């Protein structure tokens, strides 16, 4: 029998894994675009502590990031490609978070130190974009740090989004976040660790761009670090991530310079100031590593992409989520977008087309876009696609019956987009997670089949297996007779009978 049981509730979100050159190997995750390759290690710093898969292009043991900035192929040009940008010699790339006067550091290829415990938790490829997520918890504070590395496969830059969530009951004030790298752009090809380091821009009353660049002295391999954020500051100076604090980087003190230029084997840094993270809320900062100067404007604009929450679940701008039920109201909120005036489209499915929170009722797959204006950083954008999945289907088959001790094969149908099967209860089944298990129940049982589409939407159906008890039969009393005589057998307790051996019987 068939049933079409709709799934009601919140949106079900599913990462649809496709073949992609993004993968977790050991405690590291690797992302391989057409022109940029990245390694992320177990403490959320760039620079893997082991070799990447064979198809990558490391120049050292492990992978930080490399780039084919000329877009001419990984084996063409002089040099063939740029980087590794910081793994040569003493690898330095890492980050710090400061709360008040407390500073926590995770840095370098071998995570020394690693004061914020965490792990790589996921990677994904969707719509031409690779993402890798690292998550950790800041000791002594109810503060979760989630780092999402975003690499568009055809770009020569990548974006790092840092979300800080206050999971406690009290506000967290005076927070700084710092990223630090010692650029060795040309070194694998020239042997020279020095770069020309320039503070290009700092935010002010009319500009919100923070940008520091470094360039190799032999081949001119380029690295930019920057963001469009009025609370971001860049610097150069010092070397190791632990040489100072995020506040030092932000203020350009303690060996860090916030203006001018310098040639040397020195670090470049970017820091963000967050005055307060209120209890139960999150704040997000985003910066870009830019590996081709032609991509500077686009990369910096990408740090302005505001992300969203959908029914309180955090979603990257540009992502697709899946709804199992058309017509169920969905609440969409711009993450940290209160400072902009937002306009939403398409307005006909929204309760309002302005503001940073809207409610949508969607009957078919739809892309919802928001454009924010106001502030010195210019126009901001965000969008999300909501795919309505109507492909749920489950058919457990017709009810069956058999005698005690026998078995049957169930044959489920999950429709065109069947992906997962689950039978409950599992008692008497050879495998509860396949479409056609062997069923050998010892008593009458109703099995519930749940199928799940490739988008994560479930459907259910039931089948009842009736187990008939074996008859209690009596062959009659023992008897005797003379040779050539006969004896009438008389069995009771059943409907049909078979006697064996058949010799000497008339039937």
* Beta-strand runs (E) in 127-206: 129-138, 143-152, 157-166, 172-181, 195-201
pLDDT given at position 1? 30
The DSSP symbol for 294 reads G
pLDDT by residue (tens digit) across 219-249? Answer: 999 999 999 999 999 999 999 999 999 999 9
| C-alpha–C-alpha distance, residues 285 and 463, integer Å | 53
Residue 285, pLDDT score: 94
Strands (DSSP E) found in 184-238: 195-201, 209-216, 222-228, 232-236
C-beta atoms surrounding 88 within 10 Å = 19
According to DSSP, residue 396 is labeled -
Query: Model pTM?
Result: 0.73
What whole-number distance in Å separates Cα of residue 4 and Cα of residue 2? 7
- Residue 313: pLDDT band (50, 70, 90) is confident
Q: Which of 4-8, 231-235, 428-432, 492-496 has the lowest mean pLDDT?
A: 4-8
CA dist 401 and 483 (Å) reads 46
What was the pLDDT predicted at 305?
Answer: 67
Which residues in 458-495 are b (16+ Cβ under 10 Å) and which e? Answer: bbbbebebebeeeeeeeeeeeeeeeeeeeeeeeeeeee
Q: What are phi and psi of 293, to 5 degrees?
A: -60, -20
> Residue 86 half-sphere exposure, CB side, CA atoms within 13 Å?
30
The angle formed by the CA atoms of residues 51, 218 and 210, to the nearest 5 degrees, is 75
- The DSSP element (H or E) to which 175 belongs, if any, is strand 172-181
- For 117-139, the pLDDT digits (tens) are 999 999 988 778 899 999 999 99
Question: Integer distance in angstroms from the first to the last C-alpha of the chain?
Answer: 42
pLDDT digits (tens, 9 = 90+) for 400-417: 999 999 999 999 998 876
pLDDT at 383 over 70: yes
Q: Which of 352, 367, 333, 107 is nearest to 240 (CA)?
A: 107
What local confidence, expressed as pLDDT, does residue 16 receive?
Answer: 33
Instruction: Please state, in angstroms and rounded to a whole number, the distance separating the CA atoms of residues 132 and 355.
Output: 30
Asked if the model's pLDDT at residue 3 lies above 80, the reply is no
pLDDT for the residue 337? 74
CA of 106: how far to CAs of 272, 389, 446, in Å?
16, 41, 54
* Least confident segment among 19-28, 145-154, 301-310, 344-353: 19-28
Pairing of strands 380-388, 320-323: parallel
Spatial separation of the C-alpha atoms in residues 440 and 377, rounded to whole Å: 67
| Per-residue CA distances from 454 to 15, 322, 421 (Å) | 10, 10, 11
What pLDDT is stored for residue 419 in this prediction?
67
What average pLDDT does the structure give for the chain?
90
At 214 the pLDDT is 98
pLDDT in tens, 328-342: 899 999 877 777 899
Contacts of 101 (CB under 8 A, 6+ apart): none
- Domains of the chain (ranges, CATH numbers): 22-302 (2.70.98), 307-388 (2.60.40.10), 394-468 (2.60.40.10)
φ, ψ of residue 297 to 5 degrees: the values are -65, -45
**Environment class of residue 387 by beta-carbon count within 10 Å: exposed (0-12), middle (13-18) or buried (19+)?**
middle
Q: pLDDT band at 255, cuts 50/70/90?
A: very high
């Amino acid at each position: 029998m068939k049933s079409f049981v709709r799934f009601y509730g919140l949106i079900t979100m599913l990462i649809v894994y496709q073949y992609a050159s993004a993968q977790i190997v050991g405690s590291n995750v690797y992302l391989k675009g057409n022109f940029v390759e990245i390694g992320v290690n177990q403490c959320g710093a760039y620079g893997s502590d082991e070799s990447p898969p064979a198809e990558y292009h490391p120049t050292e043991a492990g992978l930080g990031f490399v780039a084919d900035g000329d877009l001419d192929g990984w084996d063409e040009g002089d040099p063939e490609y740029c980087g590794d940008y910081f793994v040569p010699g003493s690898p330095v790339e890492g980050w710090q978070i400061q709360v008040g006067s407390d500073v926590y550091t995770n840095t370098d290829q071998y995570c020394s130190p690693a004061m914020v415990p965490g792990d790589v938790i996921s990677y994904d490829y969707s719509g031409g974009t690779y993402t890798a997520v690292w998550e950790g918890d800041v000791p002594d504070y109810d503060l979760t740090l989630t780092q999402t590395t975003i690499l568009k496969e055809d770009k020569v830059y990548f974006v790092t989004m840092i979300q800080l969530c206050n999971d406690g009951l009290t506000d967290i004030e005076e927070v700084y976040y710092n990223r630090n790298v010692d650029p060795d752009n040309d070194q694998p090809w020239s042997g020279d660790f020095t770069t020309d380091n320039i503070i290009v821009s700092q935010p002010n009353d009319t500009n919100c761009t923070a940008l520091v660049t470094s360039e190799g002295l032999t081949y001119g391999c380029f690295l930019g670090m920057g963001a469009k954020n009025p609370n971001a500051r860049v610097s150069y100076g010092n070397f190791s991530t632990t040489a100072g604090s995020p506040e030092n980087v932000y203020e350009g003190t303690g060996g860090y310079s916030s203006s001018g230029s310098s040639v040397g084997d020195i670090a470049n840094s970017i820091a963000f100031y967050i005055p307060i993270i209120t209890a139960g809320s999150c704040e997000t900062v985003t910066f870009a590593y830019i590996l081709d100067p032609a991509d500077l404007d686009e990369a910096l604009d990408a740090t302005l992409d505001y992300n969203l929450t959908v029914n309180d679940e955090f979603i990257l701008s540009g992502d697709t989520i899946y709804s199992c039920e058309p017509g169920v109201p969905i609440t969409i909120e711009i993450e940290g977008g209160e400072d902009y005036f937002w306009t939403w489209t398409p307005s006909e499915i929204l309760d309002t087309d302005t503001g940073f929170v809207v409610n949508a009722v969607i009957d078919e797959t739809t892309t919802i876009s928001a454009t924010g204006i106001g502030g010195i950083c210019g126009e901001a954008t965000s969008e999300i696609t909501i795919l309505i999945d109507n492909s749920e289907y489950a058919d457990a088959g017709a009810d069956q019956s058999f005698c005690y001790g026998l078995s049957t094969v169930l044959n489920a149908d999950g429709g065109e987009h069947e992906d997962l099967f689950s039978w409950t209860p599992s008692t008497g089944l050879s495998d509860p997670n396949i479409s056609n298990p062997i069923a050998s129940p010892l008593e009458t049982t109703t099995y519930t089949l749940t199928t799940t589409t490739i988008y994560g939407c479930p459907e259910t159906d039931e089948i009842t297996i009736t187990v008939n008890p074996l008859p209690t039969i009596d062959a009659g009393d023992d008897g005797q007779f003379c040779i050539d005589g006969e004896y009438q057998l008389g069995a009771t307790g059943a409907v049909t009978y078979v006697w064996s051996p058949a010799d000497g019987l008339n039937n």
